[in-house]
Amino acid sequence: MSDRSPNITTNDPFGSLLGYAPGGVAIYSSDYNTADEKEFPNDAAFRSYVGREYMGYKWQCVEFARRYLYSECSNVFATFVSSVRIFSSSPSSMIYAFISASDKISDFLLSLALS
């Protein structure tokens, strides 16, 4: 039996498009060991923005959660160390996200909160 999670099916290099979440939000590989040092010479090069909104460090879970909620629900959250803090620190914003989003987005957000 493999030591890898059955959910991990690729070994794609950093920044490779892995697929799309409901609503069409892109999911990228966050394999930092394969990041090109010329393209990402320092920490600042890893910062992800949508317009002028800071999402986090490419392509970590916190960045994805913020980008997803921003894209699908127009919610912007403060910077967090861990994506679980998004759900535990701003319950009123999360209630708004559930109410304002479609059923598939709500289901996806719930799966993030429960994982």
Residue type, 34: T
What are the catalytic residues? 61
Q: Is 50 helix (H, G, I), strand (E, B) or coil?
A: strand
Alpha carbons 87 and 65: distance in angstroms, whole number: 10
Alpha carbons 115 and 108: distance in angstroms, whole number: 11
